[in-house]
Structure 1
Amino acid sequence: MRIDELLKGASERLSSVSETALLDAQLLLAHVLAVSTSYFYTWPEKEVSVRDSERFNVLLSRRELGEPVAYLLGEQSFWSLDLEVAPCTLIPRADTERLVEVALSVLDISKVNRILDLGTGTGAIALSLASEHPRSIIVGVDLVEEAVALAKRNAVRNQLSNATFMQSSWFESLEGGELFDLIVSNPPYIDPEDAHLSQGDVRFEPKSALVAENHGMADIEHIIQVAPRFMKQGAYLMFEHGYDQAIAVQKCFVEAGFIAVESFQDLGGNDRVTIGQYV
């Protein structure tokens, strides 16, 4: 079958499960054929072999069931990086780039910064900061051993040597007296009763990386309480959080004695990142 015919049929199949049906189809077919999506506009009349059509159909069937395109491809772009992804951790999302932007805005580039990324997952945040500040030393921790291995592979994949990764339940495996200039985290922040957990791509992502008790606030509260033991004076702590959690996160910061507490919006105009400074 011709490329244009194959994509048209695939887009129709995916239209009921994806708002970006054509793009999804293009990405999957490009993966199968080992070409870029621009190839389809140059050679729409090219015939696709039976073998490649069958491989494409398998991926389409999985996508029809709601499996995220990133998991099907095994990779996802984030910031300036090309990351390997896997079902053991969350798929990096564009909203999280706002956390990277805010982190970069508070770093003193004249010195060697020590940065801690809690719940690093793919290593997206840690590696983005490592790429922007080669002199900085970044440590990423994650509870899931497979995620730590994935983050290490992504460091190699993107040729970044100033970020290291280790298994830890938040701060537990860190040495006493190890202090940081900046602590960042995209922790679990979804209420266990949130209906969105049974909808869309998120159904396929690990619940342990999504859900927190106390209406999604439990892990954020824990981190705010413990973080000062690992922060230099004047250091910043910042989180990505839910669109409706900014006030609650700000309250936690203030009650813990942080100053310069402020929230920042994502591209959709939702409060997405809140920071506080330790004194």
Structure 2
Amino acid sequence: MPSRPPTRPSSSPPSPGPEGRAAVTVGELVRAARRRLPAALAGEAELLVAAALGTGRAQVMAFPERTVDAAAARRCLEWIARRAAGAPLAYLTGVREFHGLALEVTPATLVPRPETELLVEAALARLPAGRPARVADLGTGCGAVALAIARARPETEVLATDRSAAALEVARRNAARLGFAHVRFRRGGWCAALAGEPPFDLIVSNPPYVPEGDAALEADGVRAEPREALAAGPDGLDAIRAIARCAPRHLRPGGWLLLEHGAAQGAAVRGLLQAEGLEAVETLRDLAGHERVTGGRRPPA
């Protein structure tokens, strides 16, 4: 058996990976992201690197040879590790766009979903432009729904509530940054936060509606979000039941209650609103064709 040639000593040590280099390239970071992210998330590699470096995805793809300093590379590798462990991308960037607004999000808040824009559109359809009105958003989180309504209807007084002090502080910061002085905030659970308030023309809520134990709670990104803002009892309807019982008495005659819910919960939510005496109860479907928002009106006096 022929002997192997002796190994010649190298004049320089082997190049370390991105973790051990003073400067690495954008392309190396993208490749590191692809290696470490689960297969289902590999398509996020360029987007994740771009966000960590504070640039655009197009720049990352166009200039993979660009070098990155050690501090930026460390931040990028940290974000890759956190994303691989299930942290939503929005928690890493600290920002999520919703209804044309760039909103701060933190682990104290849910990440706003595109389907929740239907709740905003349903609210705006019941708030004629130019007419003063009072709106309450129960369980506002980062303030997404309340602030989207406030931007589209600046003549409307909006009260945003949440029982989480940390979430409410995020919503306050978003409102201050956007300059929405006509939005007020109050801490409290569901209708408890409305005590002492005059009646509202509209009450909206995107409450928790996932059944406890549902596999969706362990999905990528979701498992890092606050569980109390997602799950609501064995059938997912505990929060919606509570709101359906208490909200109608905080509406003026002719006022509307609008609730987001799960795709399979439309019939149950319609029944709950009808049982509380609301009329014109209907369910709207999202862009995927799923029943997503149900509303009802307090009968006129």
TM-score range, shorter chain: over 0.9
Q: Tell me if the contact between 1:17 and 1:66 (Cα under 8 Å) persists in the aligned partners.
A: no
Match of 1:135 in 2: 155
Match of 2:26 in 1: 3
Moved segments of 4+, more than 3 Å: none
Taking a change above 3 Å as real, the CA distance of residues 177 and 41 of structure 1, as seen in their structure-2 partners, is: closer
Alignment of 1:65-104 (within 5 A): 65-104=85-124
Greater mean deviation of Cα atoms: 170-179 or 132-141: 170-179
Shift of 1:195: 1.7
Distance in 1 between residues matched to 2:287 and 2:33, nearest whole Å: 30
Deviation readout 1:133-157 (Å, 9 max, x if unpaired): 1110000000000111110001012
Q: Tell me if the contact between 1:17 and 1:64 (Cα under 8 Å) persists in the aligned partners.
A: no
Report % sequence identity: 39
Give the alignment's TM-score, normalised by structure 2.
0.87
Distance in 2 between residues matched to 1:198 and 1:110, nearest whole Å: 44
Shift of 1:257: 1.1
Amino acid corresponding to residue 213 of structure 1 in structure 2: G
Give the alignment's TM-score, normalised by structure 1.
0.94
One of 220, 230, 239 as aligned partner of 1:200: 220
Distance in 1 between residues matched to 2:27 and 2:75, nearest whole Å: 17
Deviation readout 1:239-266 (Å, 9 max, x if unpaired): 1100100000001111111111111111
SS in 2 for 1:237: strand
SS in 2 for 1:200: coil
Distance in 2 between residues matched to 1:173 and 1:76, nearest whole Å: 26
Match of 1:275 in 2: 295
Match of 2:210 in 1: 190
Distance in 2 between residues matched to 1:160 and 1:123, nearest whole Å: 11
Shift of 1:3: 1.9
Match of 1:168 in 2: 188
Alignment of 1:1-279 (within 5 A): 1-18=24-41, 21-22=42-43, 24-176=44-196, 178-279=198-299
Q: Tell me if the contact between 1:225 and 1:256 (Cα under 8 Å) persists in the aligned partners.
A: yes
Unaligned 5+ runs, structure 2: 1-23
Shift of 1:15: 4.1
SS in 2 for 1:213: coil
Shift of 1:17: 4.7
Taking a change above 3 Å as real, the CA distance of residues 93 and 3 of structure 1, as seen in their structure-2 partners, is: same
SS in 2 for 1:67: coil
Distance in 1 between residues matched to 2:204 and 2:182, nearest whole Å: 16
Shift of 1:200: 1.5
* Aligned-CA RMSD value: 1.6
SS in 1 for 2:284: strand
Distance in 1 between residues matched to 2:101 and 2:78, nearest whole Å: 28
Q: Tell me if the contact between 1:13 and 1:64 (Cα under 8 Å) persists in the aligned partners.
A: yes
Distance in 1 between residues matched to 2:57 and 2:181, nearest whole Å: 31
Taking a change above 3 Å as real, the CA distance of residues 139 and 199 of structure 1, as seen in their structure-2 partners, is: same
Shift of 1:230: 0.7
Deviation readout 1:205-231 (Å, 9 max, x if unpaired): 111111112511111111111112210
Query: Max radius of gyration: which structure?
Result: 2
Count of aligned pairs? 276
SS in 1 for 2:189: coil
Distance in 2 between residues matched to 1:81 and 1:150, nearest whole Å: 14
Distance in 2 between residues matched to 1:236 and 1:178, nearest whole Å: 15
Amino acid corresponding to residue 230 of structure 1 in structure 2: H
Deviation readout 1:91-131 (Å, 9 max, x if unpaired): 11111111111111111224101000000000000000000
Deviation readout 1:15-47 (Å, 9 max, x if unpaired): 4252xx33x333332233222323224433312
